[in-house]
Amino acid sequence: MYRLHIDCNSYFASCEVATRPGTAGKPLVVANDNEQGGGVILALTPEAKAIGLKRGIPLFKVRDLLRRENVIICPADHKKYRRISHKIMSEVVAQGIVQDFVQYSVDEFFGTLPLDDPAELRRYIAKVRNLITTTSGITVGCGCSQTNTLAKSATWFAKHYKAFDGICVLPPEKREQALAQLPLQEVWGVGRQAFRKLSALGVVSALDFVHLPQRQVEQLLTTAGLHTYLELQGIEATQLESHDRRKSIMQSHTFATMITSRDELSDEVARFASRCAEQLRRQNSLCRTVTVFLNTNRYRDDLPQYRNDAVAKFDKPTADTPAIATAAVGLLNSMFRPGYQYKRAGVVLSGIVDDKSCQLDLFNAEADERRRRLMAVTDIINSRFGDETVTFGNL
């Protein structure tokens, strides 16, 4: 029995190349779009990496390079990426080789292979990998080992060593040898904080880490860190969270130009709230809590800074757009201070529960039902004719 991990290569960029004829082999970057071409690089093709571009840099810092090298710039299209990801998911499930196949994020998957022979595992994984490439145009790296963390480490080898040809099967007897080659900072679950603490002890590789006494790891790191430590030793300690039902839903935006007017900010917050509520209904949930936050531009030392957030609770869980949007706008008004230039704001829904588990209020059942139908109708119209065809005004 082996765990399988599949990771798409430069996912957003690969999706753009796969869906735009004539872009293969050219430098291409995907950047988040904020109206005036602001934004930062989110993903890039190998050709774009080769000319020195990196993930996370703001476009304005590399304007000249982008123009000189004729780099194709694509705005991020998350709907497209989700669609391709679902396609990959359903193709692999239909093929039936991988068991318990789950989507971990938009570009990563985990599953189980009920096999033990490394050569046989490799053959099966090659079939899955080919299937993904031929049906979606996306190339992937595949790693396979005893635990999720080790499988993900194997994927790192599959991607970093050409000889693996995109597939690395890591059997128990090769585990220590592999971990010795795996830099500590590449280990899944080791972030900046843990890296700093472990480096101070002279830990350089994943193997150094697993050779520490468990007592020391417990004292130094959190339980999550301990789980990583155990998984690297081949002991299963993580559970993958299913992503089909979110425990919080957020919509936020960094504005291209700073906003000073309360009305304009209210409109934005109402739109965020409305989109959150739609997402909430799509997963058949209700929320108990809505949070609104707003920030000025943290990069501008020359401007006065202000940031705040506020929370409202509903008497009973709801997915009603006007109720959520009215609450959100109320929170905004309670925090809004004139005289600041606002750069970012957002709405978060939390305290999410299943809509079927919620008791109906006997006295208001009829009104609730009418309200629910109204929401259902607007969702259908918007899904058929495009987002925000129908919205709620006059909040």
Under the rule (CB under 7 A), what is the footprint of DNA?
A: 32, 34, 36, 38-40, 42, 56, 58, 60, 63, 105-108, 152, 187-195, 222-224, 241, 246-254, 256-258, 279, 297, 299, 311, 313, 343-344, 346, 348
Closer residue to DNA (CB): 36 or 394: 36
Closer residue to DNA (CB): 66 or 115: 66
Report the nearest approach of DNA to the CB of residue 117 (Å): 28
Instruction: Using CB atoms within 10 Å of the CB of residue 105, give its burial: 0 to 12 exposed, 13 to 18 middle, 19+ buried.
Output: exposed
- Identify residue 159 by its one-letter amino acid code: K
Closer residue to DNA (CB): 124 or 147: 147
Report the nearest approach of DNA to the CB of residue 328 (Å): 14
CA distance 3 to 312: 42
Instruction: Using CB atoms within 10 Å of the CB of residue 265, give its burial: 0 to 12 exposed, 13 to 18 middle, 19+ buried.
Output: buried
User: Nearest CA to 218 among 229, 206, 205?
Assistant: 229
Helix axes 78-95, 118-136, angle to 10 degrees: 140
Report the nearest approach of DNA to the CB of residue 26 (Å): 23
Closer residue to DNA (CB): 164 or 188: 188
Asked if 95 and 127 count as a contact pair (C-beta separation under 8 A), the reply is yes
Closer residue to DNA (CB): 102 or 374: 102
User: Nearest CA to 329 among 392, 268, 241?
Assistant: 268
Report the nearest approach of DNA to the CB of residue 257 (Å): 6
Closer residue to DNA (CB): 8 or 121: 8
Tokens of 364: 């208001």
Report the nearest approach of DNA to the CB of residue 43 (Å): 9
Report the nearest approach of DNA to the CB of residue 40 (Å): 5
- Give the CA angle between residues 309, 314, 316 to the nearest 5°: 155
Closer residue to DNA (CB): 155 or 233: 155
DSSP codes of every residue in 212-234: S-HHHHHHHS-HHHHHHHHHHTT
CA distance 391 to 100: 39
* DSSP label at residue 52: T
Report the nearest approach of DNA to the CB of residue 119 (Å): 28
CA distance 307 to 335: 9
